[in-house]
Amino acid sequence: MTEIGPLAPDEAPAAAALWAEAGLVRAWNDPHADIAAALACPTATILAARDGARLTGTIMAGYDGHRGWLYYVAVADDRRGTGLGRALVEAAEHWLAAQGTRVIRLMVRAENDAVTGFYAALGYEGSDMLVMGKRL
Ligand SMILES: CC(C)(COP(=O)(O)OP(=O)(O)OC[C@H]1O[C@@H](n2cnc3c(N)ncnc32)[C@H](O)[C@@H]1OP(=O)(O)O)[C@@H](O)C(=O)NCCC(=O)NCCS
C-alpha cells in the first residue's frame, strides 16, 4: 500500500536515483545539494511516496511568501498511470495551502512538453509568461 509523507534524509540517494531515472537531473543541478537545501528550508518540503521501503515517487514544494512552487515531480516507471502523480501533487497542494499560499506555479522544460497534459488533468493552466533567471 502506498503511503505519502516527508522524505527522510537517508532516502536522499533513492530520491536522486528516481530523479535520474525520470530524466529530471541536469548537470548544473546537484540533486543531493537540492535535497539538503530543501530539507533545511523551513518553507520547503519534499514529499515521498513509498511502497514499504521502496521510494516510488517524489515532489518538492516551496513557498516563497507569495507563491507556492513545485519541483521534482517524479513517479517510478512501473507506477506511472496509476494516479500516484496526482496523489503527490494533491499532497503538495495541501502542504502549500497550509503554508498560506493560494497560487501554485511550476516550470516545465520546453523539451518535456508531453507532461503538460498531466498538469492540465490536475487543473493547471499554461501562461504566456517568459521565465527569466540568474545564477548567483
Ligand atoms: C508526469 C508524471 C509524474 C505523471 O505521473 P503518473 O503517476 O503517471 O500520473 P497519474 O497516473 O497520477 O495521472 C494523473 C492524470 O494525468 C493524466 N496524465 C498522466 N500523464 C500524462 C501525459 N503525459 N499526458 C497527458 N495526460 C497525462 C492521466 O491520464 C491522469 O488523468 P485522470 O486523473 O484525469 O485520469 C510521470 O509521468 C513522471 O514521473 N514523468 C517523468 C518526470 C517528469 O517529467 N516530471 C514532470 C517535470 S515538470
Residue 126 lies in a domain: no
Share of the chain above pLDDT 70, in %: 100
CATH for 30: 3.40.630.30
pLDDT digits (tens, 9 = 90+) for 59-106: 999 999 999 999 999 999 999 999 999 999 999 999 999 999 999 999
The Å distance, Cα 129 to ligand 1 centre, comes to 23
| CA angle at 98 for the pair 97 and 104, rounded to the nearest 5° | 25
In the predicted structure, residue 2 carries a pLDDT above the cut 90: yes
Count of domains observed in the chain: 1
* Substitution candidate for ligand 1 out of 106, 118, 119, 124 with most atoms within 8 A of CB: 118
Residue 74 near residue 22, CB atoms below 8 Å: yes
Residue 37 lies in a domain: yes
Share of the chain above pLDDT 90, in %: 97
**Helix locations, 42-132, DSSP H:** 84-99, 116-121
In the predicted structure, residue 134 carries a pLDDT above the cut 90: yes
Residue 132 lies in a domain: no
At position 60, the amino acid (one-letter code) is M
In the predicted structure, residue 113 carries a pLDDT above the cut 90: no
Q: What is the domain extent for residue 85? A: 2-121
pLDDT of residue 115: 96
Mean pLDDT of the chain: 97
